[in-house]
Structure 1
Amino acid sequence: MSRFRNAVLTVALLAVAGVAAAQSTKYPGVGRNATPKEVAAWDIDVRPDFKGLPAGSGSVAKGQDVWEGKCAHCHGIFGESGEVFSPLVGGTTAEDIKTGRVAKLTDPSFPGRTTLMKVPTVSTLWDYINRAMPWNAPKSLSTDEVYAVTAFLLNLGGIVPDNYVLSDKNIRDVQARMPNRNGMTTEHNMWPGPEFSKVKKADTSNVACMKDCTPEPKVASFLPDYARNAHGNLAEQNRLVGPQHGADTTKPEPKGAGAAAVAAPVAAAAPAKEQAKPAVAAKPAAGGADNKATLALLSKYSCTACHAMDKKLVGPSFADIAKKHAGKADYLAGKIKNGGSGVWGPIPMPAQSLSEAEAKTIAAWLAAGAGK
C-alpha cells in the first residue's frame, strides 16, 4: 500500500507541475497559453492576398445543391433575397467585369446596392460564407461546400460560367473578374502591412489628451410634437431585425420631456384613473422550470435569430405559432425537425439539426402556449 500511495502522489505532483508549466508566463497564475490546435481553430481568416485559404474545390452545380438546401430560405433561389435580407446579386454588367468598376454604384436612380456590386475581393465572399453561414448553423459547411457555394454565387452574377469549378488554384483568376475590384482603395494605411499600400505615413498622428478635458455633455433636447411625425413613422421605416427599430413617432412623447421621461415606464404616463385600477393577478405559466430549459434550447440552436416571442422577424413569433397550433405537439415536432414552407409566407424554414427529444421539448412548449 505504501508503494501504491507513493506512486499516486508522484503522478499527482507531475500533473500539478504540468499545469503550472502550461500557465501563462505573462500573467502568472492566470490561465494558460493556447495550444496550437486551439489557435488553429480560430485562425480561419482569408486575406485579400489569399493567405489562409485552405486547399479545396467546388463546382457551380454542387454549389446550387448546397444553396437550395441551406441558403435559399434566406437569400432566395437566385440571390434576390426575401423580405428581410438585402439582395446579393444584381446591378452588375459584363462591362463592369471588364473594367472592375460598377457603373450603377454612381447612378442615383438605381434602387439599391447588392453584395456583388460592392464587394471588391472574392476572398471576402469566401471568408464570410466560411465563418458565418448558414445563419442558423455557422461554420457547418465543409471547405469544399464553401468553394461550391462561392462558385454558385459568382455564377449568378455572371462572373464564372455554369461549368466552373472554383478552387484554391484558380481563385486568383476569379479575383481578376470581380465587378468592383477597382472600386477599393488601399492608399490609406489601414492595412496591417505594406504589401497592400505604398503609403508609409498613417492617416492621423493624434495623441490622447489627458488634461483639461471637457466634461461629458448631457443631451436634454427632444423632438417637439409638431415635428415628431414630419417624415412618417420611423418605426415603420426600419427592418424588424437589427439594433435600430425606430421610435413610434405616431404617438406623442411621454409627458415631462427629456431623457428621463423617455426612459420612464409607459405606465407613468397613463391616466390616474387607469393607474387606480386594481392589478389583475397574472396567471402563472405552467412548467416554469421546463420553460427555462426550452428557452435555453431556443438560444442554443439560434431559433431566436428568426423567431421572436411576440412579434414577426424572419418567421412568425412563438406566440403566433402557439396560438395557431395549440395542442399539436406531434405536428410541431415534425415541422421543427424537417422544416417546411408556405404556412407562414414565402420564406421557408430549413431542417434543423437538433435531436428528436429536443424537437419534442420545443414542440410541447409551443403546443402548451409558449410560456416565458
Structure 2
Amino acid sequence: MSKFRNAVVTLGWLAMAGLAAAQSQLFPGVGREATPKEVAKWDIDVRPDFKGLPAGSGSVAKGQDVWESKCAHCHGVFGESNEVFSPLIGGTTAEDIKNGRVANLKRADYPGRTTIMKVSTVSTLWDYINRAMPWTNPKTLSTEEVYAVTAFMLNLANIVPDNFVLSDKNIAEVQARMPNRNGMTTAHAMWPGNEFGGVKKPDIANKICMKDCTPDAKVASLLPDFARNAHGNLLEQNRIVGQQHGVDTTKPETKAGIAVVPAAPVVVVKPENNEAKAAIALLNKHSCTACHGVDKKIVGPGFNEIAKKQAGKTDYLVGKIKAGGVGVYGQIPMPAQALPDADAKQIAEWISKGASK
C-alpha cells in the first residue's frame, strides 16, 4: 500500500506542477494558458487568403434546402427581402462580375445597397454565415451547410451555376468572380504581416486634443409631452436587432439625466396561469419566441394577434405549426416546425384560447 500511496502522491505533485507551469506569465497565479483545443474552438475566422477555411464542400441544391428551412423567413426566398434585414442579393450584373466593380455603387439614384453589392471577398460570406447564422441559433450550421448556403447565395447572384459545388479546393476560383472584388483596399496597415501588401504606416494619424479643444455638443431639446406617444410606443415599432432601438414612449422623458417617476401603480396579483406558463416554456424550448412575441410582432405576428384571428381553431393551428406557411400574416414565410405532435397541440390549444400570459 505504501508504494501505491507514494505513486498517487507523486502523480498529484506532477499535476500541480503542470498547472503552475500553465498559469499565465503575465498575471502570476491568475488563470492558465488556454489549451490548443480551447484555442481551436475560438480560432474560427477565415481570412481573404482563405487561411482558417476548413476542408469541406456544399452544393447549391443542398444550400437551397438549408436556406428555405433556416434562412428564408428572415431574408426572403431569393435573398431579396427587406422586411426583417436589409436585402442580401440584387444590384449586380454580369458586367460587374467581369470587371470586379459594382457599377450601381456609384449611382446616387440607386435605391439600396445589398450585401452582395458591397462584399469584396467570398471568405467574408463564409466566415459570417459560419459564426453568426442562423441569428436565433448561431454556430449550429455544419461545415457542409455553410459551404452549401454560401454556394446558394452565390448562385442567386449568378456568380456560380445551378449545379455548382463550392469547396475549399475551388473557392479561390469563385473569389475571382466576386462582383466587387476590386472594391476593397488593403493599404491601411490593419492586416498583420506582409500577406496583403505589407503596408506599415496606418492611413490615419489621429492625435488626442490636449488644449483649446472643441466642447462636446449638448442636445437640450425634448419631445413635447403631448406628442411623445402620439403614434404609439416607438420601442415596439422598431426591430430588436441593430443599433437603432426606439425609445419607450409609454414612459416619461428624462430631463438632465433624471427621469420623472410617476406614482407607483397599484399591483393586482393575478392567479398563476399554469397553462400559459407551460405553453410559453414550450415556445422557448422550440425557439418560437425568436420570431413571435406573446403580445407583439417580431419577425412574425404576436401570438395574441394569431389568437384573435384563429380563436377555437386548435386543429388548424396544429397544422400550421407543423407545416409552416406564408400569406396569412404577410409575405415572410414560416418554415415547417419539427416539434413533437403533443407539444404542437399544447401550444395550439393555448393560442386558440386567447394566448394569455
1:258 aligned to which of 255, 258, 281:
255
Cα distance change on mapping 1:201 and 1:341 into 2, 3 Å: same
CA contact (8 A) 1:97 1:159 kept: yes
- Give the structure 2 partner of residue 346 of structure 1: 331
1:283 aligned to which of 258, 267, 270:
270
- Write the letter of the residue equivalent to 1:125: L
TM-score, structure 2 normalization: 0.77
- Say which SS state the counterpart of residue 151 (structure 1) adopts: helix
* Further displaced range: 50-59 or 183-192: 183-192
CA RMSD for the aligned pairs?
A: 4.5
Q: Deviations over 1:217-267 (max 9, x none)?
A: 6846014659x89xx999499742324233589x9x958x83446x434x4
1:141-220 equivalences in 2 (<5 Å) = 141-206=141-206, 219=218
Distance 1:111 1:345 in 2: 23
Distance 1:3 1:241 in 2: 65
CA contact (8 A) 1:238 1:244 kept: no
CA contact (8 A) 2:60 2:149 kept: yes
- Write the letter of the residue equivalent to 1:177: R
Distance 2:349 2:15 in 1: 47
1:227-266 equivalences in 2 (<5 Å) = 235=234, 239-242=238-241, 243-247=243-247, 258-260=255-257, 263-265=259-261
- Say which SS state the counterpart of residue 199 (structure 1) adopts: coil
- Write the letter of the residue equivalent to 1:122: V
Distance 1:355 1:5 in 2: 54
- Write the letter of the residue equivalent to 2:67: W
Distance 2:311 2:12 in 1: 57
Q: Deviations over 1:187-222 (max 9, x none)?
A: 22222333223532123445667x779899684601
CA contact (8 A) 2:68 2:335 kept: no
CA contact (8 A) 1:189 1:201 kept: yes
Cα distance change on mapping 1:18 and 1:248 into 2, 3 Å: closer
Q: Deviations over 1:9-68 (max 9, x none)?
A: 666666555554544344333333222111111111100111001111222222222222
- Write the letter of the residue equivalent to 2:105: L
- Give the structure 1 partner of residue 34 of structure 2: 34
- Write the letter of the residue equivalent to 2:42: W
- Say which SS state the counterpart of residue 104 (structure 1) adopts: helix
Distance 2:237 2:185 in 1: 31
Distance 2:24 2:59 in 1: 45
1:310 aligns with 2:295: yes
- Paired positions, count: 352
1:355-366 equivalences in 2 (<5 Å) = none
Distance 1:122 1:48 in 2: 8
* Further displaced range: 97-106 or 350-359: 350-359
Distance 1:83 1:117 in 2: 19
Distance 1:357 1:12 in 2: 52
- Say which SS state the counterpart of residue 166 (structure 2) adopts: strand
Distance 2:281 2:54 in 1: 37
- Write the letter of the residue equivalent to 2:48: P
Q: Deviations over 1:262-283 (max 9, x none)?
A: x434x46xxxxxx9xx836242
- Write the letter of the residue equivalent to 1:119: V
- Say which SS state the counterpart of residue 166 (structure 1) adopts: strand
- Write the letter of the residue equivalent to 2:45: D
Distance 1:359 1:32 in 2: 47
Question: Structure 1: any 5+ residue segments left out of the alignment?
Answer: 269-274
Shift of 1:327: 8.5
Q: Deviations over 1:45-99 (max 9, x none)?
A: 1001110011112222222222222222222221112521221111101111111
Cα distance change on mapping 1:282 and 1:369 into 2, 3 Å: farther
- Say which SS state the counterpart of residue 66 (structure 1) adopts: helix
- Give the structure 2 partner of residue 271 of structure 1: none
TM-score, structure 1 normalization: 0.74
- Write the letter of the residue equivalent to 2:260: A
- Say which SS state the counterpart of residue 181 (structure 1) adopts: coil
Identity %: 64
- Give the structure 2 partner of residue 222 of structure 1: 221
Cα distance change on mapping 1:352 and 1:132 into 2, 3 Å: farther
Cα distance change on mapping 1:112 and 1:224 into 2, 3 Å: same
Distance 1:8 1:352 in 2: 54
Distance 1:287 1:191 in 2: 56
Cα distance change on mapping 1:171 and 1:222 into 2, 3 Å: same
Cα distance change on mapping 1:26 and 1:189 into 2, 3 Å: closer
Question: Structure 2: any 5+ residue segments left out of the alignment?
Answer: none
Distance 2:9 2:347 in 1: 49
